[in-house]
A and B are shown apart, each in its own frame.
Chain A
């Protein structure tokens, strides 16, 4: 997919405006936003956290869906699984940017979180699993999956063939290499699937479980969050993939199912909140039903419903029109954004346990500019990755071009990465949890979160070791090297 020049210019302009607004906020503080003191008529989490919840959850859901496709070895959906990687990377980066824009002291956060992060806070999971390990894993997965395409480009490109050859990492296009590629795809996906799902649930916990809210409702919200994230993930994949007919119908079916389920969950949550004797829950439910948040609430339901209907019709007719798929995707993304907004903001304005005055929230132009800039940057990143990381498959060479010699080193390094990574991550988690120190003291050894993260990185790097270490050349049958330009 080659992006049009006009689209790049517009996106770059939006990114520039967003960056300017961000700098303005960094100079003057968050007083330039409409975020205010909770309980005194304002909200402390607003558009930025909503943006994080939208981008990161949709990205994680898309990545998880891609893992399922790879684990089930659905070859006809390879294109969808491949597109999920750049979308996932762009979404996770956008989520990270939203969080950084929201933090009062982002520089301190980058220092303190890796040193003294506490696992009992859901934020520990968001910065280690969501922003750290998931992003790294998606980048590694994309790089490995792009090797055949880079090798082809190295042969065909008139400019920088050495650079593409370097990126191809010694891809030979042999049957053995292809087998390793498939194996890594399968096992890496199997390993990453629980991580992506855990990260998604942790994000759901941040959004769903809050003080003053009855526990059952928070738990219910986690389910709604995960399901609607799946719908948004399907929508983004449908938007970003030039899908075959089969893949289009698959995505339409997923979109219809998840958007329909989201409608049911949102309605059930509302009814339960109305019926509960908890005053804050009732106040919140009333605000959504016929109060100040009724317009976004009914819009959210309508958008989910329309997206589900369009998806249903497409899957019924077994014909996925690109235009209708795009419309359904945009509808479901808007619905999910509204869902995140309502669950986060409306609860702070109308769901407080004590008799504080009800609040309001009208995001300022600074907040809108930053969010738009982040979204534009995410689209740009996706476009760049789609161009730089080609999806092409190399022709597979003769099956026995390489001898199995040298496999012990690969196995050893992979095992060391996996076992060492697991050990490191366990040790990092234990250190972060502050074992052997009182709860009001810092961990006896700072840097536990960093060690935990390093362990996760090492485990993912095991896939690189397995795939990149080449077979030793057999004296009898040496495969031809990549043709030089």
Chain B
């Protein structure tokens, strides 16, 4: 009996030790995982976004063309375009009733993006810098994100993409998307990464001035109506513009808190 008690005690002690080990192991694994977004603790958590001045915008479409070229967006072709299947990461929203001017509309990179919530495989996710990003290879093509997006800013590759010529005009920094996946604006994430890397190598800070015209749409805008920057930095130009009286958002009632701010005088 005594021997039995001892062995049971040993067994329970072993069990407790194993459980404690497992908990410690899990905690350290979780700590390691959580540490990843804070790899550079000196940097504050940036929140990238755009400010588009509708009073300056000439509706020239330069941003649309530049975006297509920069991000390897395949031209739709006559047949697909006729069937309303062209892909434009930034497009023009037709004028609302009572207005006569179209609105350039990229992905809103919402702070509370519904597309991220509904993606069943995590192909769409929010980076720790607030960009609503997409892993093309992960996407299963269910198009739930397209249904969920209140701004309709996502595109599905209905057929195999084709580029004119031998493809030498493609940007090597951006992966082309295959048939059957959803794609969207990335705020030219590759350019942001490259700028951050350059700043790190040069041991210089990433200044607001260097960022303002970073994405292709902002760079190509002849009237400088599009400004890019970090909303979390109160000194940045985008933060100051967004705090101004002309600032407005699309569909505020959707509760998505978009990080693309429009500037326009009240009419």
Residues of chain A whose beta carbon lies under 8 Å from any beta carbon of chain B: 28-31, 35-42, 44-45, 102-106, 108-109, 112-113, 116-118, 120-124, 127, 206, 210-212, 348, 352-357, 435-442, 444
Whether a CB of chain A sits under 8 angstroms from the CB of B37 is yes
List of A residues within 8 angstroms of B93 by Cβ: 354-356
Q: How many residues of B contact A (CB 8 A)?
A: 60
- Within the complex, the shortest CB–CB distance from A283 to chain B, in Å, comes to 12
Q: A123-B142, A355-B94, A440-B126 are in contact. Are A29 and B114 (CB under 8 A)?
A: no
| CB–CB B118/A355 < 8 A | no
Residues of chain B whose beta carbon lies under 8 Å from any beta carbon of chain A: 26, 29-30, 33-34, 36-37, 80, 83-87, 93-97, 105, 114, 117-123, 125-128, 138-144, 146-153, 155-160, 179-182, 250-251, 254, 256
List of A residues within 8 angstroms of B150 by Cβ: 211-212, 352-354
List of B residues within 8 angstroms of A352 by Cβ: 150, 152
B34, B84, B139: the one within 8 Å of A438 (CB): B34
| CB–CB A103/B142 < 8 A | yes
List of B residues within 8 angstroms of A441 by Cβ: 33, 36
- Within the complex, the shortest CB–CB distance from B226 to chain A, in Å, comes to 19
Q: A105-B181, A122-B118, A440-B127 are in contact. Are A210 and B95 (CB under 8 A)?
A: no
| CB–CB B159/A104 < 8 A | no
| CB–CB A437/B126 < 8 A | no
A29, A38, A109, A124: the one within 8 Å of B147 (CB): A38
Of chain A, the residue at the smallest CB distance from B149 is A211
Q: A38-B146, A355-B95, A440-B37 are in contact. Are A124 and B157 (CB under 8 A)?
A: no
List of B residues within 8 angstroms of A120 by Cβ: 117
| CB–CB B120/A37 < 8 A | no
Interface pairs (9), CB distance under 8 Å: A29-B158, A30-B156, A30-B159, A39-B151, A112-B123, A120-B117, A210-B148, A439-B125, A442-B122
Please measure, in the bound complex, the distance between the C-alpha atom of A444 and the C-alpha atom of B33, giving whole angstroms. Answer: 8
Please measure, in the bound complex, the distance between the C-alpha atom of A42 and the C-alpha atom of B139, giving whole angstroms. Answer: 21
Of chain B, the residue at the smallest CB distance from A356 is B152
Beyond A45-B147, A121-B120: 11 further Cβ-contacts under 8 Å? Answer: A29-B158, A30-B156, A30-B158, A38-B147, A103-B141, A104-B156, A104-B181, A121-B118, A352-B150, A357-B94, A436-B26
- Within the complex, the shortest CB–CB distance from B141 to chain A, in Å, comes to 2
Please measure, in the bound complex, the distance between the C-alpha atom of A461 and the C-alpha atom of B192, giving whole angstroms. Answer: 52
Please measure, in the bound complex, the distance between the C-alpha atom of A357 and the C-alpha atom of B102, giving whole angstroms. Answer: 13
List of A residues within 8 angstroms of B146 by Cβ: 37-38, 44
Of chain B, the residue at the smallest CB distance from A280 is B150
| CB–CB A109/B84 < 8 A | no
List of A residues within 8 angstroms of B156 by Cβ: 30, 37, 44, 104
List of B residues within 8 angstroms of A112 by Cβ: 121, 123, 138, 140
| CB–CB A353/B254 < 8 A | yes
| CB–CB A109/B83 < 8 A | no
Of chain A, the residue at the smallest CB distance from B158 is A31
| CB–CB A354/B139 < 8 A | no
List of A residues within 8 angstroms of B180 by Cβ: 29-30, 103-105
Of chain A, the residue at the smallest CB distance from B137 is A108
List of A residues within 8 angstroms of B144 by Cβ: 121, 123, 206
Q: A29-B160, A121-B118, A122-B118 are in contact. Are A44 and B147 (CB under 8 A)?
A: yes
List of B residues within 8 angstroms of A37 by Cβ: 84-87, 146, 152, 155-156
Of chain A, the residue at the smallest CB distance from B38 is A438
- Within the complex, the shortest CB–CB distance from A300 to chain B, in Å, comes to 21
Q: A121-B120, A354-B151 are in contact. Are A439 and B142 (CB under 8 A)?
A: no
Which A-B residue pairs are the 8 nearest by beta carbons? A104-B141, A39-B152, A104-B180, A436-B30, A123-B120, A31-B159, A109-B140, A121-B120
| CB–CB B143/A104 < 8 A | yes
List of A residues within 8 angstroms of B30 by Cβ: 435-437, 444
- Within the complex, the shortest CB–CB distance from A452 to chain B, in Å, comes to 13
| CB–CB B37/A35 < 8 A | no
- Within the complex, the shortest CB–CB distance from B45 to chain A, in Å, comes to 12
Please measure, in the bound complex, the distance between the C-alpha atom of A225 and the C-alpha atom of B110, giving whole angstroms. Answer: 30
- Within the complex, the shortest CB–CB distance from B259 to chain A, in Å, comes to 16
Please measure, in the bound complex, the distance between the C-alpha atom of A164 and the C-alpha atom of B138, giving whole angstroms. Answer: 44
Please measure, in the bound complex, the distance between the C-alpha atom of A103 and the C-alpha atom of B180, giving whole angstroms. Answer: 8
Q: A38-B152, A438-B34, A442-B122 are in contact. Are A104 and B138 (CB under 8 A)?
A: no
Please measure, in the bound complex, the distance between the C-alpha atom of A324 and the C-alpha atom of B72, giving whole angstroms. Answer: 60
Please measure, in the bound complex, the distance between the C-alpha atom of A106 and the C-alpha atom of B139, giving whole angstroms. Answer: 10
Of chain A, the residue at the smallest CB distance from B94 is A355
Please measure, in the bound complex, the distance between the C-alpha atom of A105 and the C-alpha atom of B127, giving whole angstroms. Answer: 24
List of A residues within 8 angstroms of B152 by Cβ: 37-40, 352, 354, 356
- Within the complex, the shortest CB–CB distance from B221 to chain A, in Å, comes to 22
Please measure, in the bound complex, the distance between the C-alpha atom of A40 and the C-alpha atom of B147, giving whole angstroms. Answer: 13
List of A residues within 8 angstroms of B96 by Cβ: 355
Please measure, in the bound complex, the distance between the C-alpha atom of A356 and the C-alpha atom of B250, giving whole angstroms. Answer: 13
